Structure 1
């Protein structure tokens, strides 16, 4: 977008126990369209992919008391980025541009982080769900059924773009209500 300006970039180690694997995101703003943007990169390399797959077996973490559970790797990756400077920059941008919409996006792992980021800023009251637009590409299942239901109630504008041959949106496999689910709306 020709009128978009980069605010900050964030690259943090998002692996709590294994070898270092970086998660990356950036913030930007557009005074013409009146938007603030959070965007997140997908999985980088075989080491990070292996960590994500192995982490499927470690379970989920609660996302507040009323919003279900989130896959551990995605939850941790978001909070490493959030505490690695993202929080301060989003708060600064919100202060500087209080009436702007927030657009949140990401691909693959970045899509899962984007879903959590949008959910977090809405749940904590930094933005209202009506003022957030979430669009992800190739997002894996991020949270459980309760997270998906909560998410659908909070976001009128939320889309997951999926290529029909991409395996990532179909992992981890879905077996029951306690497993991971997608929130709406899928576009093929």
Structure 2
């Protein structure tokens, strides 16, 4: 009995010391990540730890920490983005996102960036229809700029209203799927991503081998932004692209996964810019339920919010500090009677109608029996495997 009592007393003493740092202040009293990870905990060689899932500080070896071991780092606050948002780069990447919508990507690239120094090196595609995906074609364009020493992977986004509705319904009724980098993601986005990733990763790996000093930018608008998010984090996670060579630019990106995915993403992809125009409806979906904070849809960093309805390239913007920053798009009152206006906010970035700016190039698309447009490149791709077409 005395031995058990002694162990209980020892445990109480240990818990007391585990809740304080060397200066007598409690780790869990610190509400700021930077202060938290710079403060020594009860073990002098170890600092307090920050848990981004709960936005809370805890001591080293705390038994009350809900974060998985991969988050339990004291070295730095990895959720702080690397680098600086450059709107010139953002404008270039939205034009490259528009190229991915075109059936004639080379001609579209020549039209939008005639003096940009970019050349198209590959088109990657695959037929994407399936039990979950009502999408005629998954497509990505790969371009390179020797002047900027940059490789760009641009992903095609949502091509029709019916496809957007299908995505929203899937987000509501289909369970999310575990993703390799951590957390869960919407199954629609996951399936569309894996349709192309084997070819995208091989293409990027080959280009990296021949241009090892080039940076890689992954970009996309709408659904293309969701696929771009999964592509960027996977290329770093799979050690195909180093962290310091990766940058992500997305436009009107929906919430890709849950909070654990967002936190994992913030840790892996250090330079990420999620551009949102005014009250873009797609940036608000899938909607948050607040029933389970860690499992509900959640945006990763870093939102760049353009509040004005008119969005020229030099429009004022705000770089938002938090993943779901309440002072950015979430601060914009949502009026369901203005939904057509919010759809227009989604369609236009930097005064460019991203999905349609190159639609006049080439013959008009035909329609299938179900009324969906058929891409002029549809015959080049199959359902079985993705294909890389080199330029």
Q: What's the TM-score once normalised by structure 1's chain length?
A: 0.92
Q: Does 1:37 align with 2:152?
A: yes
Q: Which has the higher contact order (CA 8 A, sep 6+)?
A: 1
CA RMSD, Structure 1 to Structure 2 (Å): 1.6
- How far off its partner does 1:20 sit? 4.8
Contact preservation (8 Å) 1:69, 1:143 = yes
2:121 corresponding residue in structure 1: 7
2:260 corresponding residue in structure 1: 146
Correspondence 1:12-161 to 2 at 5 A = 12-17=126-131, 19-56=134-171, 57-64=173-180, 67-83=182-198, 85-161=199-275
Task: Give secondary structure in 2 for the equivalent of 1:162.
Answer: strand
Q: After the TM superposition, which of the residue ranges 9-18 and 118-127 deviates more from structure 2?
A: 9-18
Task: Give secondary structure in 1 for the equivalent of 2:262.
Answer: helix
Q: C-alpha separation between the residues in 2 aligned to 1:15 and 1:172?
A: 21
Task: Give secondary structure in 1 for the equivalent of 2:277.
Answer: coil
Contact preservation (8 Å) 1:134, 1:157 = yes
Contact preservation (8 Å) 1:114, 1:136 = yes
Task: Give secondary structure in 2 for the equivalent of 1:140.
Answer: coil
Q: Which structure 1 residue ranges, 5 or more long, are not aligned?
A: none
Answer with 1 or 2: which has the greater Rg.
2
- How far off its partner does 1:139 sit? 0.2
Q: How many correspondences in the alignment?
A: 186
Q: What's the TM-score once normalised by structure 2's chain length?
A: 0.46
Contact preservation (8 Å) 1:15, 1:77 = no
Task: Give secondary structure in 2 for the equivalent of 1:151.
Answer: helix
Larger proportion of strand: 1
Q: Which structure 2 residue ranges, 5 or more long, are not aligned?
A: 1-112, 306-391
- How far off its partner does 1:46 sit? 3.1
